[in-house]
Amino acid sequence: MKYGIYYAYWEKQWGADYLKYIEKAARLGFDILEISCAGLRDMTDAQLEMLRNCKDDKGIRLTGGYGPKACENLASADSSVVNNALEFWKQTFSALKKLDVVSVGGGLYSYWPADYSTGVDKRGDFERSVRNMRTLAAMAQDYGITLCMESLNRHEGYLINTARECVEYVKAVDAPNVKVMLDTYHMNMEEDSFREAILTAGSLLGHFHAGENNRRLPGQGNIIPWREIGSALREIDYKDDIVMEPFVIHGGQVGQDIRIWRDLLEDASEERLDRDAAESVQFLRDTFEGEPTPIEGLEHIGLFVSDLARSVRFYTEVLGFKVIWNNVNPSPEGDIAVTFVQNADCILELIRFPNPEKRGAGCFDHVALRVDDLDSVMKKLPHQGVKFEEGSYTEAPQVFEKGSRWVFLCGPDNERIELNERFM
């Protein structure tokens, strides 16, 4: 999968200097910049060439997004409106071709945002839209462009609100370059299950927008189930684009159209926006397709004991272990005595608490796994839903003749796991 961001994250007006945002997207770690189709047909060949050369130089791919105006509505019963829409797209496709854009997404089947003051003819609009989309799809095919139909929430559109409705529409059009497009912001309002919606789209899914329930960047909220979404995308073997479409700044035409009435960040400076975007794209990469954390091996197993001296004698005299390290850690309840014993590659940590009867002497306490870079692991795992035990990070400069540092987390059944890095 490749990851992108919509240029208007930084903008208050729909028109923008895309050259600036191509450079920014590349610097912040994105693969894609999504731009608006509005105004592209008015650009000169020289301007389009400059834009194409810039994105090539920075290694950025462009995708297109658009919410058609009412006068560009393919579902309209007015033939002049439909003809105007087809003419708009014919000129726009020519510009997109010069920018090497091969994917355009949005509510292309109708117009945006919907005006509900005049009533809705959903079935009639659906049939007209399907018929006219076949014509538009044939035009787009000549330019090598795929059209992705975005499922919108009920407040912004009525023709397609769910993945199931989107699949029905795409199958009705029956064109190879017409695909489904899902957006987590809209899905959060309309779908019963993110996973089921993605599975419903299946191989027809051609584009995916990512954002929190309130339009903030992915990873800045607690409602959207990103791990579930990533798992579902992998389940359908989705290999196409993931584009963030955040809107966090109020004011201007963008804020007016998106209905952003306040800054969603305490600090809406460009520097802060850049930093948040860079962190968010890394969050998505780690969550959607992050590699498993490399474990170098078993470090040791921790056991509760009631009598440390007695346990040490047993493991050394009966089972042939050797004592390799002793330590006493103070705690509010009293000193915690620890002895590490080793036999071949097997290391046990024998732990004697002040009140062993409360802990369950003879019970397993934790398993310690060895990692190479604890800092990177601690940065990555929270993106995959892992929570570390509060205050558990510890550094000990002299353990086993080396330094060691570790942190604790819990597995799915609350089993304690220690991640341990040794260093010279």
Assess whether pLDDT exceeds 70 at residue 358.
Answer: no
**Which region among 169-183, 248-262, 375-389 has the lowest average model confidence (pLDDT)?**
375-389
317-339: pLDDT as tens digits: 999 999 999 988 888 778 899 99
Residue 15 pLDDT: 78
Residue 424 pLDDT: 61
For residue 379, what pLDDT band results from cuts at 50, 70 and 90? confident
Q: Which of 150, 165, 191, 349 is catalytic?
A: 150
Residue 293 pLDDT: 85
Give the burial class of 241: count Cβ atoms within 10 A of its Cβ; 0-12 exposed, 13-18 middle, 19 or more buried. buried
What's the whole-number mean pLDDT along residues 18-40?
A: 97
- The domains located in the chain, with CATH, are 2-289 (3.20.20.150), 297-423 (3.10.180.10)
What does 131-177 look like in DSSP terms, one character per residue? Answer: HHHHHHHHHHHHTT-EEEEE---TTT-SS--SHHHHHHHHHHH--TT
Residue 402 pLDDT: 72
Q: Which of 11, 34, 72, 245 is catalytic?
A: 245
C-alpha–C-alpha distance, residues 40 and 15, integer Å: 10
- Beta carbons of 376 and 386 less than 8 angstroms apart: no
Residue 403 pLDDT: 83
Q: Provide Rg for the chain, Cα atoms.
A: 28
For residue 376, what pLDDT band results from cuts at 50, 70 and 90? confident
Residue 359 pLDDT: 63
For residue 57, what pLDDT band results from cuts at 50, 70 and 90? very high
What's the whole-number mean pLDDT along residues 396-401?
A: 69
What's the whole-number mean pLDDT along residues 261-282?
A: 94
Looking at beta carbons, which pairs linking 122-130 to residues 24 or more positions away fall under 8 Å?
122/158, 122/159, 124/77, 125/75, 125/159, 126/75, 126/159, 126/169, 126/172, 128/74, 128/75, 128/76, 128/77, 128/82, 129/74, 129/75, 129/159, 129/169, 130/169, 130/172, 130/173
For residue 380, what pLDDT band results from cuts at 50, 70 and 90? confident
Residue 397 pLDDT: 73
Assess whether pLDDT exceeds 90 at residue 423.
Answer: no
In our burial notation (b when 16+ CB lie closer than 10 A, e otherwise), range 149-167 reads bbbbeeebbbbbbbbbbbb
User: Is 150 annotated as catalytic?
Assistant: yes
401-415: pLDDT as tens digits: 678 899 999 998 889
User: Is 228 annotated as catalytic?
Assistant: no
What's the whole-number mean pLDDT along residues 306-324?
A: 95
Percent of the chain past pLDDT 70, that is, above it, reads: 97
- Residue type present at position 148: C
- Residue type present at position 393: Y
Percent of the chain past pLDDT 90, that is, above it, reads: 83
CA proximity to 370, closest of 311, 310, 420: 420
Residue 400 pLDDT: 62
Pairing state of beta strands 146-150 and 103-106?
A: parallel
Residue 128 pLDDT: 99
pTM: 0.79
Pairing state of beta strands 178-183 and 205-210?
A: parallel
Assess whether pLDDT exceeds 80 at residue 42.
Answer: yes
For residue 14, what pLDDT band results from cuts at 50, 70 and 90? confident
What's the whole-number mean pLDDT along residues 286-297?
A: 86
Mean pLDDT of the chain: 94
Pairing state of beta strands 297-304 and 346-352?
A: parallel
What's the whole-number mean pLDDT along residues 251-269?
A: 92
Please state, as a whole number, how many other Cβ atoms lie within 10 Å of the Cβ of residue 256.
12
For residue 308, what pLDDT band results from cuts at 50, 70 and 90? very high
What's the whole-number mean pLDDT along residues 258-268?
A: 92
C-alpha–C-alpha distance, residues 209 and 222, integer Å: 18
Pairing state of beta strands 346-352 and 336-343?
A: antiparallel
C-alpha–C-alpha distance, residues 370 and 338, integer Å: 19
Please state, as a whole number, how many other Cβ atoms lie within 10 Å of the Cβ of residue 123.
9
**Angle (CA) 321 326 329, round 5°:** 140
Residue 118 pLDDT: 87
71-88: pLDDT as tens digits: 999 999 999 999 999 999
Residue 362 pLDDT: 65
C-alpha–C-alpha distance, residues 103 and 62, integer Å: 9
C-alpha–C-alpha distance, residues 190 and 161, integer Å: 7
